[in-house]
Structure 1
Amino acid sequence: MRAGRDSNQCLQAFLDDLPDQLCASRIDPVPPRNHNDWSALSPQQPAALFCPRTTQDVAMLLQVANAHQIAVVPQGGLTGLCGGARPIAGGVALSLEKMTGIEEIDTAAATMTVLAGTPLEVVQNAAADAGVYFPLDLGARGSCAIGGNAATNAGGNRVIRYGMMRDLVLGLEVVLADGTVIDATSKLIKNNTGYDLRQMFIGSEGTLGVITRLVLRLYPLPGCTHAALCGLADYGSVLRLLDGARRKLGPTLSAFEVMWPDYWQVACEVPGVRDPLQGQHVFRVLIEAQGTDEDADSDRFNAFLEDMFQASVVEDAVLSQSIADVKAFWGVRDACAEFKATLGPHLAYDVGLPTGQADDFAKDCAVAIEMAVLGARSVYYGHVADGNLHLLAWLPGSDDQPAKALDAAVYATVRKFGGSVSAEHGIGTTKKPYLQYSRSEAEMALMRRIKTALDPNGILNPGKVIDA
């Protein structure tokens, strides 16, 4: 905001300078859903909400906002958990929800060009209809936007095989704070022409530019999927199972999900969730392999499990006999989506750790949480093979969860183990105080320099990730 002018004057001057087509994209009053994302932060109504339909409209909006130094918060599907899309008082929200559509599927290049507001599930289905596969998958698939997936560098269930979102984006179009449109929509995997500009914006959470269009990398549609839910006696067996899966299943290994006993107990209390394994096991592991040949891949998967039984790595296992079985196994892993109904209010954490230390972290973190908040509980589960551990923490019977104390306990333990305070959910505002636990001062200083260079007036999602 310019000196000598209050926020209302700046906002009105901004609105007065907008072209007619942008005024037509304004939604007034602002719907409650645009007051917050899925974080536990309190809602905040923006001063205005715009839903442009074209990149040119986004560029024009940012150009005028930059001239009047009006804060702009980009919004996608609003499924983020860290407050990255939560509006700012006195600022405007820029929703990409009307910029949707599949523009092109190039099966020869194995790419899809798509507008940023398109829901992930629409992208998945369009790829499947064309006989190809877009592998990013997460629980919010029906609501989250593909541009937001890139802005937060989403991970999901199959990172072990296909990588994070930054590995699935070949090119993008992005609008800078001053309205400059950067068209880097290359379809090329091999493109060694100087700085890789797309990677600067992937994971930046809308603080460096607004992603408006993406070129996604596609893969062959899996010809078959095999899964097993395994019971194991200890974490050492989990690591041996992972090593065996990597060696025996090779590139077909698509998921390796580990569930600690505390998580399993709570998951099986969710209505409709059935325990496929009988007997007591310390760890449960869901293994999935996506192959191309039903007979050959089935034989390979079965032989791998037989080896694990003979080596006394696996105590018991249930193998999928159909896609319905695969979905049922994933239903147990994804039961956490229903924990709010069974646990009540709780806090969700997403951290990165060396795979070999995940169990030691879980033990230490549980103690730290209990010491920080008397009576608090926690449960642990996650992708683990890619170093991603999820945990839930809560004080039973409390509607007002002690977030500050729980956050401090969890992230101090992450720091102790040399881990990442965010594996796939981003930083936003909720993890911003703890970014220094995972990044050096030199790294943070470089981030500030990049932010200042690309957004000198600080209008793009101010207060998120890092301050300039």
Structure 2
Amino acid sequence: MNTALLDQLREIVGAAGVIAGSEVRSRYPGFFMSEIGADAIVRPASVEQVSQVLALCNAAGQPVVVQGGMSGWVRATQTRAGEIALSLERMNAIEEVDLANRTATVQAGVVLETFQNHIEGFGLSFPLDLGGRGSCQLGGNAATNAGGMRVIRYGMMREQVLGLEAVLADGRIVSSMNRMIKNNTGYDLKQLFIGSEGTLGVITRLVLRLRERPTSSNTALVCADSFDQISRLLRHMDGALGGQLSAFELIDHNFYRTNTGAGRHAAPLPADKPFYAIIEALGADQERDTQLFEQALGQGLEQDLCSDAIIARSERERQGIWAIREDLEHLVRDFQPFYAFDVSLAVGHMEAYMREVTTRLRARWPQGAIAFLGHVGDGNLHIAIGAGGENDRHAVETCVYEPLRAISGSVSAEHGIGLEKAAWFPISRNEVERNLMQSIKLTLDPNGILNPGKIFAAETAGSP
């Protein structure tokens, strides 16, 4: 990297704000990357510093990749030699919690779990929740439009953001810090940046919508002999619980058996059924809501919508059930080489899709391992595969992504496109859509310095 440029960056953010040399390689690169390849990590402490950094880099044609908690799965934060990583970890202030308006103003570097814990003291909650809560940052949650376990009730991150502040590639600050749920005045500019994976601008601050903190919680694990039972149980529970259903998580037999094997998590139900589901309901009256939950689940059993069920009677039991769903350690170790996928499709297509993916995989690798899990309530499936060798990634991806083409599915439900899915982007977005996206990119980042090569450059991932 140009030494003079690095010195100018230090003048903007201070000596402690720039990490270079071997210290860059010592930083955590994310699960699917071996190391941070950037020449330096720049850590601004204010939006003004972000603005100055980007203006300087834009003028110099210096590529910049924004990095948050590094918990993404599509290599959207991957860097190469000659690039700068821009970390917002120093911009981690919770600036305000507005109780009357039930909003919070936060800087982009605030860690999700830190924020969740903070607002609990005000009797409020932030409903976005995902496995990476302890490391992911709110700015990254917005930049990837994160989903998680409670989308069925509260929606994606997009639904939680009322306003935001972002810095464009040339250093201009776009301040759209709206605090209102209803604001129908022209284009909703914040939506340009939500889900853009750092390719259009750098999100620096957010106004987030808060909800009243639930005071009751009920969780159950059920098993079923068919996916049809699971899908009908979903509809039944959603209707019977009167809006309290907050999570409905699918776990297939292979995933359940892997995580409840000897020496692993305790199995609340026998591991002999093809499908399992975790059902969660949040409300405001524990006694009344427990009665409603038990009644709804009992009706499901009577109507043959599931084969068996167990309700958590303590916080320990609740955590034990969720640990089966959230713990990926055993899966990563047992499934080798490990591939993880995140797709979305209509619930009505799920059973046939899972069957086709499995058939395609086993036709190529008869001993290949595969497991499905996901947020079936909102049509999101996660797929874990252990098959093939180091050079078989494309063939494995073909098994997963090609069946989505005929059913108008999405190759990415939650994690975005990044580098990992760039080649498969056309399955889910037509040419007119992709061209319009690239036009927006060219307008906001004409020199292409922001997260170059991500989303659009299919050649970087290998053409299908």
TM-score bracket, normalised by the shorter chain, equals over 0.9
Query: Equivalent residue for 1:4?
Result: none
Q: Per-residue CA shift, 1:298-355, capped at 9, x if unaligned?
A: 1111110111121122221101112222211111111324422333441110000101
Say which is worse superposed, 401-410 or 154-163, in terms of deviation: 401-410
> Of the candidates 20, 33, 39, which is equivalent to residue 11 of structure 2?
20
- For residues 337 and 269 of structure 1, the distance between their equivalents in structure 2, rounded to whole angstroms, comes to 13
What TM-score results when the alignment is normalised by the length of structure 1? 0.94
- For residues 212 and 218 of structure 1, the distance between their equivalents in structure 2, rounded to whole angstroms, comes to 19
Query: Is 1:232 aligned to 2:224, yes or no?
Result: yes
- For residues 456 and 28 of structure 2, the distance between their equivalents in structure 1, rounded to whole angstroms, comes to 21
Q: Which runs of 4+ in 1 moved over 6 A?
A: none
Letter paired with 2:252: W
> Of the candidates 341, 345, 356, which is equivalent to residue 364 of structure 1?
356
- Secondary structure (helix, strand or coil) at the match of 1:385 reads helix
**5 Å matches for 1:276-287?**
276-278=268-270, 280-287=272-279
- For residues 157 and 309 of structure 1, the distance between their equivalents in structure 2, rounded to whole angstroms, comes to 24
- For residues 83 and 355 of structure 2, the distance between their equivalents in structure 1, rounded to whole angstroms, comes to 43
- For residues 201 and 66 of structure 1, the distance between their equivalents in structure 2, rounded to whole angstroms, comes to 18
Letter paired with 1:436: P
Say which is worse superposed, 265-274 or 211-220, in terms of deviation: 265-274
Instruction: Give the deviation of 1:34 after TM superposition.
Output: 4.6
Query: Is 1:463 aligned to 2:461, yes or no?
Result: no
What TM-score results when the alignment is normalised by the length of structure 2? 0.94
Query: CA distance change for structure 1 residues 238 and 23 in 2, over 3 Å: closer, same or farther?
Result: same
Q: Per-residue CA shift, 1:337-396, capped at 9, x if unaligned?
A: 442233344111000010111111111001112234453221111111100001111127
Query: CA distance change for structure 1 residues 380 and 19 in 2, over 3 Å: closer, same or farther?
Result: closer
- For residues 270 and 159 of structure 1, the distance between their equivalents in structure 2, rounded to whole angstroms, comes to 33
Question: Contact 2:335–2:369 (CA<8 Å) still a contact in 1?
Answer: no
Query: Equivalent residue for 1:451?
Result: 441
Query: CA distance change for structure 1 residues 335 and 457 in 2, over 3 Å: closer, same or farther?
Result: same
Letter paired with 1:278: P
Letter paired with 1:158: R
Letter paired with 1:437: I
Query: Equivalent residue for 2:87?
Result: 95
Letter paired with 1:428: G
Query: Equivalent residue for 1:5?
Result: none
- For residues 36 and 28 of structure 2, the distance between their equivalents in structure 1, rounded to whole angstroms, comes to 5
Query: Equivalent residue for 1:38?
Result: 31
Which consecutive unaligned segments of at least 5 residues does structure 1 have?
1-7
Question: Contact 1:71–1:88 (CA<8 Å) still a contact in 2?
Answer: no
> How many percent of aligned residue pairs carry the same amino acid?
41
Which consecutive unaligned segments of at least 5 residues does structure 2 have?
459-464
Query: Is 1:48 aligned to 2:44, yes or no?
Result: no
Query: Equivalent residue for 1:81?
Result: 73
- For residues 142 and 445 of structure 1, the distance between their equivalents in structure 2, rounded to whole angstroms, comes to 37
- Secondary structure (helix, strand or coil) at the match of 1:285 reads strand
**5 Å matches for 1:286-435?**
286-373=278-365, 375-395=367-387, 400=390, 402-435=392-425
Query: Is 1:180 aligned to 2:168, yes or no?
Result: no
Question: Contact 2:253–2:272 (CA<8 Å) still a contact in 1?
Answer: no
Question: Contact 1:269–1:342 (CA<8 Å) still a contact in 2?
Answer: no
Query: CA distance change for structure 1 residues 401 and 104 in 2, over 3 Å: closer, same or farther?
Result: farther
- Secondary structure (helix, strand or coil) at the match of 1:61 reads helix
Instruction: Give the deviation of 1:262 after TM superposition.
Output: 1.7
Question: Contact 1:372–1:409 (CA<8 Å) still a contact in 2?
Answer: no
Letter paired with 1:20: E
Q: Per-residue CA shift, 1:194-226, capped at 9, x if unaligned?
A: 100111100000000000111111101111100
Equivalent residue pairs, number: 456
Query: Equivalent residue for 2:462?
Result: none
- Secondary structure (helix, strand or coil) at the match of 2:243 reads helix
- For residues 26 and 424 of structure 2, the distance between their equivalents in structure 1, rounded to whole angstroms, comes to 27
> Of the candidates 162, 169, 192, which is equivalent to residue 154 of structure 2?
162
Letter paired with 1:37: G
Cα RMSD of the aligned pairs, angstroms, is: 1.8
Letter paired with 2:368: A
**5 Å matches for 1:74-223?**
74-223=66-215
Say which is worse superposed, 400-409 or 346-355, in terms of deviation: 400-409
